[in-house]
Amino acid sequence: MATPKNRTLALGLAGAAALTALTATVPATAAASAASPVRARCPRLSPDIPWYGDNRAKLQKMIDERGTCSGRHGPRPVAAFDWDNTVVKNDISDATLAWMLRHDKVLQPRSWRKTSPWLTKAAEHALTRACGTAVPAGRPLPTSRNTACTDEIMEIRGEARTMSGAPAFAGVWNHRRTVPEYAWVPELFAGLKPATLTAYARKARAENLAAPIGAEQTVGTHQLAGYIRYYAQQKDLIRTLKVAGFDVYIVSASSETVAEAWSGGVGVDARHTIGIRNRVRDGRLTDTLAGCGDVKDGHGEVIPYIDGKRCWINQEIFGIKGAEAWRQQDPAHRIALGGGDATTDVTFVNDATGAHLAINRNKDELMCRGYDNADGRWVVNPMFIDPLPRKSGRYPCATKGYTNTDGAPGPVRRPDGTVVPDQRDRIHG
């Protein structure tokens, strides 16, 4: 039985029939050869939207090889993209939380300690002291006026520490499956109706899209980006992929409800949007977050983060259940294209069989794999808006570019076990 988010495999036969029907309209010479220089009737990336170097041509080649012009039969190919700083510039979780704090929309929790199993006593005390206990649980905190409360929330979200510098999270977690400060944000949405959170996310979306590029906002005493933009290149790539018969998914470490408020802007519907998923009870979001694979529902022990993104893709898109969802699958059960910008995304991007699109934000493991280019299918591109300059020094791939499950750094290794040598930053702003 297909999962709610996925009908890719369940519709495999239908997809094959549709693919056959579509490819039947393509001239035989175009369908027969992926190397054909002219594919006038095949979906094309816009020549008017700039990409770095020959990256457009590399992506077009993959689309031609895997899409409707390939003459292939079987289930539709899948493309999956991270969201923040991959499809858009800047972060929708930050934007939504900032809007809510400025408009008194964050609810007083029953207990700050229960918002995360890893929250330290220092963080619990800092939040209780700053936000007070006068507001009953489930009622809005006056964060637009209470700068101290807002600052503690923002500092814990952004830096995983309190305003006094004490660690906000401690304990044991799998560093390739979750990060506490990411999982903490959806916990702050507990008590809201899904439609209410959607409305808040849409207000934040409108505000950030209207702000000029480069704008900043002040939340408490914190300064952060005050604008977001959809990348024209990614909108065009997603459009072209869909026309070429791909199933396109968003897989984000943001709240799924928040991501759904944004993903329609690139033509991706809620069913194809995967994020951190609050369980709903009595019509309201709870502080229980959905698990993946053989990890049960909990408080963020696994989210769409590093290896967690592979698990969610395998489970939600390909219908692979239990512990098997954590393992790399055979090529027929893997995505054709993966796109990301950070170590958060490296596992699923590396799993792609057709092209690995890496947006360069100087994140070690992703860029180590991108520049090593072990299978010749990596496509590295600077950020499309305000790209970073060249990284000074080399990426420490051979010593500490990889994050182990206990958080300790180690060498980045290829599938055959050999170590990726340190890499120079070659594609940048």
Query: How does pLDDT run across 41-64, given as a tens digit for each residue?
Result: 789 999 999 999 999 999 999 999
Query: How does pLDDT run across 292-337, given as a tens digit for each residue?
Result: 999 999 999 999 999 999 999 999 999 999 999 999 999 999 999 9
Domain residue limits at 27: 12-89+230-424
Residue 80 sits in the same domain as residue 184: no
Judge whether residue 205 has pLDDT over 50. Answer: yes
- The position carrying tokens 């033509």 is 267
Q: Report the domain count for the chain.
A: 2
Residue 63 sits in the same domain as residue 83: yes
Query: How does pLDDT run across 396-422, given as a tens digit for each residue?
Result: 999 999 999 999 999 999 999 999 999
Which segment of 4-8, 191-195, 288-292 scores lowest on mean pLDDT? 4-8
Confidence of residue 214 (pLDDT cuts 50, 70, 90): very high
- Cα angle 118-120-121, degrees, rounded to a multiple of 5: 140
Q: What is the pTM for the complete model shown?
A: 0.90
Residue 379 sits in the same domain as residue 320: yes
Q: Which pLDDT does position 303 carry in this prediction?
A: 98
Residue 36 sits in the same domain as residue 125: no
Residue 21 sits in the same domain as residue 121: no
* Span 350-369, average pLDDT: 98
Structural domain includes residue 3: no
Structural domain includes residue 429: no
Counted residue by residue, the chain has a size of 429
Judge whether residue 68 has pLDDT over 80. Answer: yes
Structural domain includes residue 347: yes
b/e per residue 267-284 (b: at least 16 CB within 10 A): ebebebbbbbbbeeeeeb
Q: Which pLDDT does position 69 carry in this prediction?
A: 87
* Span 104-108, average pLDDT: 98
Residue 119 sits in the same domain as residue 186: yes
- Report the percent of the chain where pLDDT is more than 70: 91
Q: Which pLDDT does position 5 carry in this prediction?
A: 61
Judge whether residue 235 has pLDDT over 60. Answer: yes
Q: Which pLDDT does position 47 carry in this prediction?
A: 97
Closest CA to 83 of 228, 185, 184, 279: 228
Residue 67 sits in the same domain as residue 99: no
Structural domain includes residue 7: no
Residue 43 sits in the same domain as residue 167: no
Q: Average pLDDT of the chain?
A: 92
Q: Which pLDDT does position 37 carry in this prediction?
A: 44
Which segment of 18-32, 130-144, 185-199, 303-317 scores lowest on mean pLDDT? 18-32
Q: Of 196, 225, 254, which closes a domain?
A: 225
Structural domain includes residue 64: yes
Q: What is the dihedral of CA 334, 335, 339, 342, to 10 degrees?
A: -20
Q: Which pLDDT does position 71 carry in this prediction?
A: 84
Residues near 427 by beta carbon (within 8 Å), at least 6 away in sequence: 52, 53, 360, 380, 381, 382
Q: Of 172, 191, 225, which closes a domain?
A: 225
Residue 138 sits in the same domain as residue 219: yes
Structural domain includes residue 1: no
Q: Which pLDDT does position 237 carry in this prediction?
A: 98
What CATH number is given to the structural domain containing 70? 3.40.50.1000
What are all long-range contacts of 113-118, with beta carbons under 8 Å and residues at least 24 apart? 114/287, 115/184, 115/187, 115/188, 115/190, 115/287, 116/169, 116/180, 116/183, 116/184, 116/187, 116/299, 116/300, 117/171, 117/298, 117/299, 117/300, 117/301, 118/169, 118/170, 118/171, 118/173, 118/180
Q: Which pLDDT does position 337 carry in this prediction?
A: 98
Structural domain includes residue 108: yes
* Span 263-270, average pLDDT: 98
Q: Which pLDDT does position 41 carry in this prediction?
A: 73
Confidence of residue 2 (pLDDT cuts 50, 70, 90): very low
Residue 101 sits in the same domain as residue 151: yes
Residue 327 sits in the same domain as residue 182: no
Q: Which pLDDT does position 125 carry in this prediction?
A: 98
Structural domain includes residue 404: yes
* Span 264-288, average pLDDT: 98
What are all long-range contacts of 360-365, with beta carbons under 8 Å and residues at least 24 apart? 360/387, 360/388, 360/425, 360/427, 360/428, 361/85, 361/388, 362/388, 362/391, 362/425, 364/395, 364/396, 364/397, 364/400, 364/401, 364/412, 365/401, 365/402, 365/403, 365/412
- Report the percent of the chain where pLDDT is more than 90: 89
Query: How does pLDDT run across 160-196, given as a tens digit for each residue?
Result: 999 999 999 999 999 999 999 999 999 999 999 999 9
Q: Of 171, 193, 225, which closes a domain?
A: 225
Q: Which pLDDT does position 14 carry in this prediction?
A: 37
Separation in Å, CA 136 to CA 39, 103, 107, 263, 411: 64, 18, 9, 34, 49
Residue 415 sits in the same domain as residue 326: yes
